[in-house]
Structure 1
């Protein structure tokens, strides 16, 4: 079977390693921390990040050079802020052609690049067209327990997408393909913003009505920005859009939801991030999406409100009041122009 390196031994990287091991592949799980690699190999668990038994065919490495030796595929699951450093090092060390699949959901503040674009810029022998993205509604906790999960893989290179589909698909982890790489990446990244909002809503004590409003109007924002960047509006009605929104906005499994919940209860951002102990991608993505929306003159009131809470120290209740008192409008005003443009 295929030798695969998974870069990033957090909850999602560990869960994807379990899927690959279940499919009979030889998996090398890389972490930059020696003590974590040694603990995984000795105990066959990674309880700091994921409560699941790790199959013996998963071997943990802290040497990136050894982890990628003779592999056919490299799965990148490190946080967005680490993508450039890891890919730059990976580019120096690779000695054989591999398929690059990334499962990181985020946008880089400042450059406003998607993860596939960052990989393309850091890896001289790998083109953007050949990178594969994996995204969809998938809590690592449930994937690690082999509970039914569906995701989407996308690449401009259809052969690479099909390879990734075959690599991961099994009876509990169903994989679809898509040719809308822009939409798949943006859906996976931008939903984290709305998940933060859903958590804040819960922390404020609001109920299902507010949650439904956030998910629905959040989807409209995601679609507006995504379509302006070249995505198909239909992508946001699929797994990486509506599906990922539902799973991250309705469950305490979501670290973005949990972070938002603490913010809604009155904690400051620095306190929340320290307490979480894991990367909360929605924070960085909110900053990037706010920049994108301003640059492209796209109206994103929920994103703007969250930006004000995260970076301008605005009180969540004040932001909710501001959102609820916006000018009257027709619901379809936000959507009709994009549909008319594409269909």
Structure 2
């Protein structure tokens, strides 16, 4: 069993080695994509992902009450920013997680001081981007978790907001890290940031649709009520594995929305010059390719009852990687590959806010609005 008091390696090399060792234990997909980045950027992105994973682990722990989660999330941010001792935080919180949380995730919380050794060694702009992301993510997730249930989110706009809090903000952070790595991209910041939010939404929506029945079984749904109500479906009455033309119609519309966001994700990726950032493009392309393939499997299996049934096969992952490497230098070839992969997917036009600055028109929960006002 993991002991948060166990001895840890405290050298910088030891902290970096720990990051590389724990990453594949907490995320197979990011362990595949992050190594495509150049070393200096990879180090910062790995660190950012692990810190985001800790925030997510706290929010997902079933034995924590809403009050517990808010307290531990606030303490986590204080530990990251140095306002409280990170070792004390880890020693207090890590043993409280239940066996419902993966052992590797419990270990990661317990090893926060080691992860923060890397954080403190990053450039100031990198640290600032990571901290701002964590603040928005932690408070946003908590605001939504307090009221979520099988009834789902009220509207697609609420789903936009939720996806921003857990994924769009990560896209913004990654873009900030990239621009810090290559200041020549600063002239394209506004467009990249807008597309980064849409990129995050496309990936998060794909995960929500794929994992909806696992969420439902634990009493949660991130699906939008208004889209399903339009077809006469009540989310709290859904049953996994049943053929229902009304449910399928709503799912097709949402798959179309996710597809539209992934088109923006491709636009984002192709704005990154391959001559200087081939690794970053691969990092993005693999995520986009796997998401498109997942949406295709969902569309073909709308009566699925578990995410495992629509999971992309290892063979498909291998083909995706190979094709993106072969075509990665040609924007024309990449657009053609995307069109082929997505040719049978529905396409739902996005609403007007995706032509505006990032999250400018999203409707935030009142507590989130108050939080952003305090930290502006």
Q: Do both proteins adopt the same fold according to a TM-score greater than 0.5, normalized to the shorter chain?
A: no
Specify which structure has the higher proportion of strand: 1
The normalised TM-score by structure 1 is 0.31
Greater relative CO, 1 or 2 (CA 8 Å, sep 6+): 2
The normalised TM-score by structure 2 is 0.29
Specify which structure has the higher proportion of helix: 2
